Amino acid sequence: MDDNDKKEFIEEFRKADGPKRLDLWDFALSQQVLWEGIITDLQVVAHKQGVDKDLDKLIEDDLKDA
């Protein structure tokens, strides 16, 4: 979802009536749950592969450069 999609979704939410608004809200929440699960799975894989330590080092270096 890019910025235009996000703006369109929020505008549709603003204009929606009660039931439609609840449907949009429910959709957004289900997407949040889906992505939280994906992120958790990615973290597990990264940890098993030791990638998380490499990423932490990259973030640390970026913060020092900023």
Per-residue pLDDT of 51-65, as tens digits, reads 878 888 888 888 888
Q: Distance (Å, rounded) from C-alpha 4 to C-alpha 35?
A: 20
Longest CA–CA span in the chain (Å) reads 49
Per-residue pLDDT of 3-62, as tens digits, reads 999 999 999 999 999 999 999 999 999 999 999 999 999 989 988 988 878 888 888 888
Joined tokens for residue 64: 């020092």
